[in-house]
Amino acid sequence: MVGRILVWDIPTRVFHGLLVACFGLAWLSAESERLRDIHVLSSYLLLALIGFRLVWGLIGSRYARFAEFVRGPSAVSAYLRGLMQGHPPTYTGHNPAGALAIVALLGLGVASGITGWLAFNEMGGEVVAELHETVANAMLALVFLHILAVVISSRLHGENLVKAMLTGYKSGASGMGIRRAHGGVALVLVTGLAAFGWAMIQGKLPALWDPLSASVVGKSHEEG
C-alpha cells in the first residue's frame, strides 16, 4: 500500500534549515568587517550543526543514517544516468546523487570552518585565506547544483522533494516510514545551539573569538 509516510525526522529537517540559514548568513557577511562577528558566529554554529549531523548520521532514524544513503560510485552513476534519461530509480530516502551532495557539503562545510578559523586567527597567511574563499565558493556552487538537482528530481519523480524536506513526508510503501519524529532531539539541538550562540554573543566564550591572545601576547590581525 502506497501512502504518506514520514521519512525525514525533525532533527534532520531542523539541521537542514539551520544549515541553510547559517551558510547564508556566513556568505552574506563574508566581505565585511562590520559584520565580522556575525560571520564568525554563524560559522561556529555551522560547524556545531555539522558536528551534530555527523553524530545523527550514526545514531539517527533510518533515513538520516549515512549507512542507509551513502552509496558507491556505481549507484551514483546509475542514478545520474537514469536522471538524464528521465527515469531515475526511486529511493524512499536520499537518492545516491543527493547523498553525494550531502557528503560533499558536509566535507566542504568542515573545510571552510577549519580554513576560516585559521584565517581568523592569522595562521597560514594569504594561502589559507584564499583557500577559505575557494572552499566557500565551491560550497555555494554545490548548493546551487543541489537545488537544481532537487528541482529536476522532483519533476521526474512527480514528488515535491523540497516540500518533503519541510514536512518530512513522502509517498511510499506504508511499512517504509519511520515511526518516531524525534522532536525531543531537535529541541535539544536548537536549545544547545541557542545557548552556544547566546554565550558567544555575551562574550562568555572569549577563547572562540580570540583563541591565541588568551595565552599569547601580541596577537595581530593581518591586512594589506
Residues at the site binding other proteins, with contacts judged by CB under 8 A: 31-37, 40, 126, 209-210, 213, 218-224
CB 160, CB 154: distance < 8 Å: yes
Say which residues have a Cβ less than 8 Å from residue 92's Cβ, sequence separation at least 6: 5, 7, 63, 170, 172, 173, 176
Q: How far is the CB of 200 from other proteins (least distance, A)?
A: 12
CB 41, CB 200: distance < 8 Å: yes
Q: Which is nearer to other proteins, 180 or 219 (CB)?
A: 219
Q: Which is nearer to other proteins, 3 or 33 (CB)?
A: 33
Q: Which is nearer to other proteins, 46 or 143 (CB)?
A: 46
Q: How far is the CB of 41 from other proteins (least distance, A)?
A: 11
> 149-153, long-range: CB within 8 Å, 24+ apart, which pairs?
149/83, 149/97, 149/98, 149/101, 150/98, 152/83, 153/83, 153/88, 153/95, 153/97, 153/98
Q: How far is the CB of 35 from other proteins (least distance, A)?
A: 8
Q: How far is the CB of 145 from other proteins (least distance, A)?
A: 27
Q: Which is nearer to other proteins, 36 or 62 (CB)?
A: 36
Q: Which is nearer to other proteins, 2 or 222 (CB)?
A: 222
Q: How far is the CB of 7 from other proteins (least distance, A)?
A: 42
